[in-house]
Chain A
Amino acid sequence: MSFRTMSLGLAAATMLAGTALPAFAQDSIYVPLFTYRTGPFAGSGTFIADGMHDYLEMLNQRDGGIGGVKLVLEECETGYDTKKGVECYEAVKGKNPVIVNPWSTGITLPLIPRASVDKIPILSMAYGLSASARGDIFPWVFNPPATYWDGLSMIIKFIGEKEGGLDKLKGKKIGFIHLDAAFGKEPIPLLQDLAKDIGFEVALYPVAAQDMQNQSSQWLSARRDRPDYMIMWGWGSMNGAAVKEAVRSGYPMDKFYSVWWPSEDDARSGGAGAKGFKELNWHAVGANFPALQDIQKHVIDKGLSKAAKDKVGEVLYNRGVYNSLLIAEGIAQAQKLTGKKAVTGEDVRRGMENIKLDAARLKELGLEGFTDQLVLSCNDHNGHRAAFMQEWDGSKWVKISNPIEPMTDRVKSQLDGAAKDYAEKNAGWPKRTETCDKAS
């Protein structure tokens, strides 16, 4: 009996599964959002997911989509797990997605070779494979506005200026605490190169993904080594734990720098002692922009968002908004280039290469002063834009520097080497055949 019910249930489930895939009308654009609101990285991922979703939903509510075409938004939960990410990719592939945002370096890597075959562009915003900034080798991958190598060079430059010149870093010791994964290890070759040239010493403190919330041994070593500066490359619960441990071990917080991922919650977890903690950023914090006000009005107030009202404008929420800004701009440019309304992945790839977010365009979008300008081209899929430093004042992030340009000369050689290396190791890596649109 139980077998009959079981097999009946199974049969019903399979039949449902067959019919469950919704059919999309031709006059809509399908934008899947890979998000993670569960798992160890949910502490960062939830804000990003809300920001991404709310901006695009706002466009739907306010303007009826982009260029009059409604956006069909669908979240797929990856849990920051490569296995589920690849499953998500397969699940959305058949529905003609115009772009995918893996939001995990681990998920991005297996998708990179597939992008050109499946004709789906990948937007890995300031993460993923740094080398994919080279549009001539990776025509389907975009990682604006700066790579991790750019980011590291900016932090070193900022520290150098504080000391009174890069050469003053000679003899200093710089600690690098990082997530022990491809993401966290990526800047290490550049850091070691710089150490050799400038003459500072590097101390590495890797944090394995399973010990993210327990970093006492790393900070104990840091206390013994007494590095003059600490630089962090972390994500998820690692950031908050690091701030907490740094405060507890008495590390001077004004000498603690991070790449652009820690959120307000991460800094808050250090309590009052976290004051002085600094991180890079390339967009504004706060909700004082017309577009963000529209999100409040059209999305949050209507109860269409999962975000709490006070989270709008926090750094990772705005990061999600920036991500969606790029998606929307890619779609808008694609519509302009092709004259089509319902664009495809191939069109959006061309659109992304023609992104030109200057001050005028940002003002038009209601985001004046939200971020620095960004111009992408066929060869440059990154922009290598400057970022600024922001400091935690105990309750919010405060911008404390002018835009810091990356050390382009150093970063470029790393980048070209890595891109060439990738293409060579993947024997038969396709040459770029996609034609280049003239900048509009």
Chain B
Amino acid sequence: MLYREAGQFKTNYVADSAIFPLREDRIGLAVIILAAYALAFLGNSFVLQAVMIPFLVFSLAAIGLNILTGYTGLLSLGTGAFMGVGAYACYKLMTAFPGVNVIVWIFVSGFFSAAVGALFGLPSLRIKGFYLAVATLAAQFFLQWCFIRIPWLVNYNVSGALDAPLRTLFGIPIMGPNATPQTRYLLVLTIVILLTWLASNLVHGRIGRMWIAIRDMDLAAELMGIRPLQTKLLAFAVSSYYCGVAGALLVFLWYGGAEYDVFNINQSFFILFMVIIGGLGSLIGSFFGAALIFILPIVLGIVLPAALSPFGLSVGADVIEHLRFMIVGALIIFFLIVEPHGLARLWQIGKQKLLVWPFPY
């Protein structure tokens, strides 16, 4: 009823090829962004610190992996390590040049990750599919090994851990223990919106079409004049850039300090699951995937005890943990059976149904 295409006329090509051709979509997006900013002032510190900041960080990492796996069709298991490169690079840069604002270093640290990602992406020209996954697994293990073995990366800290020093923006602390969840959330939100907007322009433009062509059939793409090596390496670099920035955000704006173990293989799988559940080749799917994999267990952790207590059942934290695993696991299987293309596809179907509601044809 409210969501209707009728009456919206496009009078030029630019309007017709817009990412959000429907007025309702544009309004909806604006409302979501406004609500996200409003949440900074309405949500309590648990919601911001333990739910929203990690959700945004993981969404960003999932967008990164989606560019590689979803848009270019290259399977990677090195996401955790590429996030680590971003975090360690950011740490080295901001401790070596404390005079430069840390936000600059967060963005710059992604380039280090991009370079490393491109390097490990080199074999992608020759090997594909699961074999490439194994090659990126090598990146995961090698980089993780570096994080433990090279004390220079953590400025010879005895604890071998990264820690977030105090950094400010306009005199307000944005990093370190004194930074409130509110300021950190606003910062993360702004960075994620900015980079998502950039990614959206990338994947809908010439470069994105090249990636998709390579994904759908690399031989045909090559015959059409797309250079596979450059295109694949670019995908690796851009993907790693996003992961690197996400890694820097994870350590310095969420944890506030971390060990090398944060960037282990589990982290890579975690992000990969988000991408698969959310929807391969979809930006909004990255957000859905992050929400399902990360937020759902937290909600369950709060809802389950409350739901069970009226029945006189008081269950321990460990039982809740097991229940969380089982429910999230069952839901993942459920969603994959109902819609193998992920939550993004469900969203799309829902929107299409809404467009014709209440007169389906």
Contacts and interface: CB of A to CB of B under 8 A. Distances in A.
A365 interface: no
B100 interface: no
Contact of B303 (A13, A90, A91, A116): A13
Contact of A38 (B163, B256, B318): B318
Contacts of B44: 94
Which 6 pairs of residues, A with B, have the shortest CB-CB distance? A37-B318, A90-B50, A113-B177, A428-B166, A110-B257, A75-B317
Interface of A: 3, 13-14, 16-17, 19-21, 35, 37-38, 74-77, 79, 82-83, 86-87, 90-91, 93-94, 105-106, 109-110, 112-114, 116-117, 129-131, 180-182, 185-186, 189, 206, 209-210, 306, 418, 421-422, 425-428
B255 interface: yes
A381 B322 CA distance: 37
25 contacts: A20-B303, A20-B306, A37-B318, A75-B316, A77-B321, A87-B54, A87-B298, A93-B45, A106-B258, A106-B259, A109-B159, A109-B161, A110-B257, A110-B258, A113-B164, A117-B178, A180-B148, A182-B160, A185-B160, A186-B159, A189-B158, A210-B264, A210-B265, A425-B155, A428-B166
Interface residues of B, number: 47
Given A106-B261, A428-B165, 6 more contacts: A16-B303, A109-B159, A131-B158, A182-B259, A209-B264, A425-B163
Contacts of B259: 82, 105-106, 109, 181-182
Given A3-B350, A82-B262, A112-B257, A35 B317 contact: yes
A182 B159 contact: yes
Contacts of B160: 181-182, 185
Given A117-B177, A426-B166, A17 B257 contact: no
Contacts of B239: none
Nearest to A76: B317
B119 interface: no
Nearest to A185: B160
A425 B157 contact: yes
B299 interface: yes
B356 to A, nearest CB: 14
A292 B264 CA distance: 41
Nearest to A46: B318
A369 B3 CA distance: 76
A76 B302 CA distance: 11
B129 interface: no
A432 to B, nearest CB: 15
A351 B298 CA distance: 34
Contacts of B54: 83, 87
Contacts of A117: 177-178
Contacts of A75: 316-318
B316 A37 contact: yes
B307 interface: yes
B258 A82 contact: yes
Contacts of A94: 44-46
B163 A91 contact: no
Nearest to B257: A110
A282 to B, nearest CB: 23
Contacts of A426: 163, 165-166, 176
Central interface residue in A37, A110, A129, A418, by most chain B CB within 10 Å:
A110
Contacts of B350: 3
Contacts of B317: 35, 37, 74-77
